[in-house]
Structure 1
Amino acid sequence: MWPNKSLLLATVVTALAACSAAPTSETPAGAEPAPSAHFRILQVNDSYKIEGLENGGVGGFARLRTLRRQLQADATPVLLLHGGDFLFPSVMSKYLQADAMVQVMNLLDGAPAAFDNEMMAVFGNHEFDTPDAGVLLRRIVQSDFSWISSNIRFNFSESAAAEPFGKRLPQVHDVLVKQIGGAKVGFFGITLDSRKQPYIEFDYDLPARRNAIRSAIDRLQSQGAAAIVALTHQDFDQDQWLAREYPEVNLIVGGHEHFFIEKQIGNTWITKADADNKSAIVHDVYLAGGKVSSSHRKIDLDQTIAKDPQVAAEVERQLQRLAGLFDKQGKDLKQVLGYTEHLLEGVEPAVRGRETALGNFLADTMRERMQTDIAFTNGGGIRINDNIPPGPVTLYDMEGLFYYDNKLVSFALTGQQLLDVLNNSVSKTHLGDGRFLQVSGIRFGYHAEPQADGGVKYRVEAGDVRIRPRGAKQDQALDLHKTYSVASTDFIWEHGSSDDYAIFGKGKGKTSPRRLDDGTAIGFRQTVEAALAKLPQRTITQRVEGRIVRLAP
């Protein structure tokens, strides 16, 4: 039996997005006038580094605290909403079990000992990275803010059915209604099911998701909510589906993609901010005369926004705490392993959407070590989610790059199979999907074709691909019938089918290509560190050179 904790029930709210009008009926003649209210929503999502990016030069929680305080200056209520993914994955959470992240987030109201009644978070898929359910439960209980989940149930007991978190944990709500002025605003939360653990059950297949959303909306409306907000962590296309299916939802505050998105479907706005608090979105929401209206704006949390001293001090304390763990192992997180001549972009919108110097270096190193014609690694496996500026490359950078230390493998693909792989690689480029490949020994262009529904279809043709097989001095046209040797990671080789690479997958009738290597476990990180040590002046010189090009329509 999980013990209840006497923490205050938080009622964090959400509402509408930019320049939209909710489909709300007019107040009938003779009835009481509809309540009115004005409040703000401060929206962020996908936060992994408490200090922010580029050694704290951009983003971070200390700047977010400053922005929140500035928005509160005129006494307008400000609700801070997080769109999920913050407990994991990060180097700090890997070693400190996400404790540091929650301690820093607990200070975002400026009151270390108080429960934040105006802050709420939805579960992201990475909240369930840990196989230890106790870690997740401890972080929830530790949180001085509310969580919301309308489609996840927890197995508190092996002998009983899973039940909503809120049955045992007062910080977690299925739905929530907040009264602002004389108006009630309600919200619910939806999380995709990509991180399944034995202790979690999702209502996310389409029928179950429909039931969860319909039930949440009905409950909020029965409690008199004048505006409804969905706080979600799922793919952007599923947010668009939600907006089309449920027009009574005024705003979808989203996470999961790591870059700024805004789109209006009917009267519903969908918004997502840049990851790691690089940007935030501010909504001004008005309820008046039975109608909802709002405007929103993106704010970059750059060096023009000062760091809050209290939060900055806690961030530094946690960084020192992490460094102390490495010191006990005889390691220095600031140890310089080498240098880079050019910017190594590791933020996910870059490595998951275009050629980068970092991706070139990693793929080149892989190809050289495995002695293959070409090599590729998926952007989703590059976990640093930060940029390494020209200058030192440190042990801390390596810890971030290789959060998952995959092994290297080699195998054979025909030219046709390689073309299929490239087409899948670019198929979700606009969404920053982890399937996007960084490559070596190959150059290709892809076409972007607008579709009638407003979407985009991406396509690679055989004539757009050039290969430089090992030992060749010039690029060659892709030969669909020729066999090429390929280096990649064991993750892609074994589990690529989870990203729609049909040729890669083990079990359930799937068979990956036969391996060319002898099966020796060759660590990707070990390979990269050894290659870096052997470079002239230990300096990475790769730059963006046109290996992957988006072709003009």
Structure 2
Amino acid sequence: MEKIRILHTNDLHSHFEQFPKIGRYFKQAQADPSVDEVFTFDAGDFMDRSHPLSDATEGQANIEMMNSFHYTAGTIGNNEGISNPHRVLEHLFDHAQYPIVLGNLREEDESMPHWAKNWHILTTKKGTRIALIGLTAAYPMTYGPNHWHVKMLANTMDAILPQIEGQYDVLILLTHVGLNMDRWLARNYPQVDLIVGGHSHDLLPEGELVDGTWITQTGKWGKFIGDIQMDLEDHHIVQISPTTIPTSALQEEPGDEELISSYYKKGKELLEQIEVADLPAEFEDDKDRAIEISMDAIADFANVDLAILSSGLFLTPFKAGKITMFDLQQALPHPMHVVRSILKGSDLWRLVMEIEKNRHYLDKFPLQGMSFRGKIFGQMHYKGISVDMHKRMVYINGEEIDPMKEYEIACLDHYILVPFFPTLAIVGDNELLFPEFLREVVAEYLSQKYPIRK
């Protein structure tokens, strides 16, 4: 009998407050004398640029901490692949001490990213061959503009499986595709023994068995650690027993809080060194003014006259005087990208009607996911657009909208993903603008509009 223990995480999202406990649990488990071997895997979205230290170091602080956990292998999530510019992802794993397995992402010339492996095969001390395949969420709309070619899951699996046939005894997928797609993979690829998944933030306390394949996920933010017992006989699986451990139940030790605080403090110090602009007094504690200037920024970035933004994006107003990247990171922590959308006048009219129809509902609507790092959606604001709801009339730069004319408007990928404004997603000719994301676009505009005088 061969006993293997597998520890796994997913969707840590730079929640460093969990890292001391996770690190100790991993260290203790990796010395477990009751098993023959211990493997550790991460299923992506380990970084999130809403944490100052991740943002300031472009994820290198995350890699340093992940190295300390002694992972066996990992894959990437959309936060690594899309929230980061291409140049950052190219170097994110320069100092990683574990392989990144990723079968469905390529450079634009179809070459393999130098930092990833198509698949990886481990051989245990007792000679069992374990094949790992990594898969990330296939979002061509966002990977494409970031100069990556993401491949569909079925095409990837159909290409890789024949290449590794006969080379493994156990097949494990490391996936960042969500629970529904994990179930699809389990149903359609019976060769797979175990899926270590993430992306949809589902918690499967004791795993889920789908057509003979075990699926495991640990929720989000490091609140749970996955711990799997795998028993084998003659290199064949006899039993897989998944469990999850609540991180809150683990012992806190002296120094944990100080260490966690130091991560935030270090990131803050680094971002505060990057001075952006010197804002006039009118910005002090005025969120509306912050929204107005930010609409100007995204309109300028997209080279258009019109823009929309929602107030919930702004966690804090801007302040008067010198403003740093830390201030902007606190105000706009969201990893969102600007979109230039082309709409016929009749469709733009419909979009404005959708916004007005949902205005009161969205004002206090609690929102999660879709790159949003705030609490509520808030009020929609317009640049260059006004509306008379009594007459159901929309005006563009003071003139009545022309239903046959094409208009260009700056918005965010967030508004295409949320279900409140279907017109944008259905009929908008949408171009995602990379590599800068929202707060970088705002920072560049502010620096030009209100430069710091030396």
- Short-chain TM bin: 0.5 to 0.7
Long gaps (5+) in structure 2: 277-286, 292-307, 317-325, 340-347, 380-389, 395-408, 431-441, 443-454
Deviations 1:392-416 (A, max 9, x none): xx96993465565999x99742699
Letter in 2 for 1:502: P
Cα separation, 2, equivalents of 1:105 and 1:415: 42
Equivalent position amino acid for 2:102 in 1: S
Alpha-carbon displacement from aligned partner over 1:347-371 (angstroms, at most 9, x marks no partner): xxxxxxxxxxxxxxx9xx99xxxxx
Report the CA distance between 1:438 and its aligned residue.
4.5
**Cα offsets for 1:472-527 (capped at 9, x unmatched):** xxxxxxxxx99699xxx9746x76344454222597558xxxxxxxxxxxx9xxxx
| 1:147-193 deviations in Å (ceiling 9; x for gaps) | 001111124xxxxx32122xx44xx3211121222322111011123
Q: Aligned AA for 2:123? A: Q
Q: For residue 174 of structure 1, what is the amino acid of its counterpart?
A: N
The CA deviation at 1:124 is 1.0
Residues 259-298 of structure 1 mapped to structure 2, 5 A cutoff? 259-261=202-204, 262-289=207-234, 290-298=236-244
In structure 1, distance between residues paired with 2:7 and 2:327: 34
CA contact (8 A) 1:259 1:274 kept: yes
Q: Are 1:98 and 2:59 an aligned pair?
A: yes
- C-alpha RMSD over aligned residues: 4.9
8 Å contact 2:83–2:335 — kept in the other structure?
no
- The one of 410, 418, 423 equivalent to 1:503 is 423
Report the secondary structure of 1:255's partner residue: coil
CA distance in 2, matches of 1:86, 1:201: 21
- Give 2:174's aligned residue: 231
Where 1:126 maps in the other structure, the secondary structure is helix
Partner of 2:280: none
2:157 corresponds, among 213, 219, 224, to 213
Mark the CA change 1:122 to 1:326 in structure 2 (over 3 Å): closer, same or farther: closer
**1:149 counterpart residue number:** 102
CA contact (8 A) 1:176 1:220 kept: no
- Does structure 1 retain, via aligned residues, the 8 Å contact 2:370–2:417? no
In structure 1, what is the Cα distance between the partners aligned to 2:354 and 2:134? 45
The equivalent residue for 1:68 is: 26
Q: Give 2:93's aligned amino acid.
A: I
Conservation of the 8 A alpha-carbon contact between 1:378 and 1:434: no
Q: How does the TM-score come out when normalised to structure 1?
A: 0.53
Q: Aligned match of 2:194 in 251, 258, 275?
A: 251
**1:339-358 to 2 correspondences below 5 Å:** none
d(CA) in 1 for partners of 2:11, 2:314: 16
1:79 to 2:19 alignment:
no
* Residue-by-residue CA offset, 1:47-86 (whole Å, 9 max, x unaligned): 222522xxxxxxx221111111222343332211111112
1:323 corresponds to which letter in structure 2?
Answer: K
Preserved contact between residue 62 and residue 308 of structure 1 (Cα < 8 Å): no
Quickly say closer, same or farther: Cα 1:265–1:308, change in 2 above 3 A.
farther
2 CA distance for matches of 1:252 and 1:162? 26
- 8 A contact 1:102–1:143 mirrored in 2: yes
Q: What TM-score comes out, normalization by structure 2 length?
A: 0.63
- Asked whether 1:196 is paired with 2:143, we answer yes
**AA matched with 1:81:** F
Change (3 A) 1:220 1:303: same
Distance 1:308 1:187 in 2: 38
Residues 44, 198 of structure 2: 8 Å contact kept:
yes
DSSP 3-state at the match of 1:177: strand
Distance 1:509 1:397 in 2: 30
Work out the percentage of aligned pairs sharing the same amino acid: 19
2:88, 2:377 → 1: CA distance?
Answer: 37
Partner of 1:4: none
SS at match of 1:264: strand
| Superposition map of 1:103-142 within 5 A | 103-109=64-70, 118-129=71-82, 132-142=85-95
CA distance in 2, matches of 1:128, 1:146: 16
Instruction: Indicate the SS of the match to 1:103.
Output: helix
Determine the C-alpha separation between the residues in 2 that align with 1:148 and 1:214: 16
Closer, same or farther in 2 for the Cα pair 1:281/1:232, shift >3 Å?
Answer: same
Q: Is the 8 A contact 2:198 2:219 kept in 1?
A: no
Does the aligned pair in 2 maintain the 1:120–1:146 contact within 8 Å?
yes
The AA in structure 1 aligned to 2:143 is: K
After TM superposition, list the pairs within 5 Å mapping 1:319-468 onto structure 2: 319-328=264-273, 398-399=330-331, 401=333, 412-413=352-353, 418=358, 438=376
5+ residue gaps, structure 1: 1-35, 53-59, 110-117, 156-160, 332-361, 367-374, 385-393, 442-480, 511-522, 524-553
Tell whether the 8 Å contact from 1:273 to 1:281 is kept in structure 2 after alignment: yes
Partners of 1:283 and 1:255 lie apart in 2 by 16
- CA–CA separation in structure 1 for the residues paired with 2:25 and 2:377: 40
CA spacing shift, 1:291–1:130, aligned 2, 3 Å: closer
Classify 1:382/1:127 alpha carbon distance in 2 versus 1 (closer, same or farther; 3 Å).
farther
Deviation (angstroms), 1:132? 4.2
Residue 324 of structure 1: SS of its match in structure 2? helix
Closer, same or farther: CA 70–418 of 1 in aligned 2, 3 Å: same
Q: Which residue of 1 aligns with 2:438?
A: none
* 1:129 Cα deviation after fit: 3.1
CA shift in 2, pair 1:215/1:383, >3 Å? farther
2:7 to 34, 42, 46: 42
Letter in 2 for 1:69: K
Q: Deviations over 1:297-329 (max 9, x none)?
A: 1111116333597x9887655434322224435
